[in-house]
Amino acid sequence: MIPVRLTTERLVLDQPVAADRELIAEFCRDPLFEKYMTLPWPYELKHADYFIDKVAPGGWDTDSEYTWAIRHDGQFLGAIGYRSTGKDFGYWLGAPHRGKGYMTEAARAMLDWLFERGEQVVLWECVVGNTASAAIAQRLGFAYTGTGPTQLVFRDGSHPMAWHGELRRGVDRTTEWPTA
């Protein structure tokens, strides 16, 4: 599939490029990423290069994963992606850009695009305790579906306990969400 560019009132979602590599590496060195993400640790420039050169374009080429860079006024803020094989999505923002509503806005654009393409359900998970990620999923209307091991394998081969949610096309559900 050819990568799709999405736009919102404040954001552009497009492909990560070589000019983003330094910021990607810097943002992915956040200690929260070690705890909550499957990314390599410690995160180095070579990991950013692999993400830009292989992961992002490879997913689009195989129609297995759609990855976008999130930009505001041309500045790289973070990334969001959807894995078609698992029907799930994930996201992250650099620390300076959190708390401004960017991720909720970017995720809404991506979810609208997915549902317009015919997806019926999108899944979400985060490691237990990642209340910031859970708050975004809750704002987006995801229904909390329980706690259990992650679907994704972490760098140590484990499947830590995670909160799980789902969003169904055309269904607006409110459920009780856990607190940390």
Q: Ramachandran region of residue 24, left (φ > 0), alpha (ψ -120 to 50) or beta?
A: alpha
Q: Which residue has the tokens 């909160």?
A: 163
In a domain, 82, yes or no: yes
In a domain, 43, yes or no: yes
Mean pLDDT value across the chain: 94
pLDDT surpasses 80 at 179? no
Top pLDDT among 41 and 173 is at: 41
In a domain, 177, yes or no: no
Q: Using N-to-C axis directions, what is the helix angle for 102-116 and 131-139, rounded to 10°?
A: 50
Q: How many domains does the chain have?
A: 1
At 53, is the secondary structure helix, strand, or coil? helix
89 pLDDT band (50/70/90 cuts)? Answer: very high
Instruction: Say how far apart CA 86 and CA 67 lie, in whole Å.
Output: 14
Q: What is the pLDDT of residue 175?
A: 60
pLDDT surpasses 90 at 178? no
CATH of the domain at 78: 3.40.630.30
Q: What is the pLDDT of residue 180?
A: 57
In a domain, 1, yes or no: no
In a domain, 91, yes or no: yes
Q: What is the pLDDT of residue 174?
A: 58
pLDDT, average across residues 104-129: 96
In a domain, 174, yes or no: no
Q: Could you tell me the CA-to-CA distances from 150 to 35, 61, 116, 172, 175 in Å, in that order?
A: 13, 26, 27, 24, 20
Q: Which domain holds residue 47?
A: 6-168
Q: What is the pLDDT of residue 109?
A: 97
In a domain, 178, yes or no: no
In a domain, 180, yes or no: no
Prediction pTM value: 0.93
pLDDT surpasses 60 at 173? no
170 pLDDT band (50/70/90 cuts)? Answer: confident
* Structural tokens at position 88: 């799930």
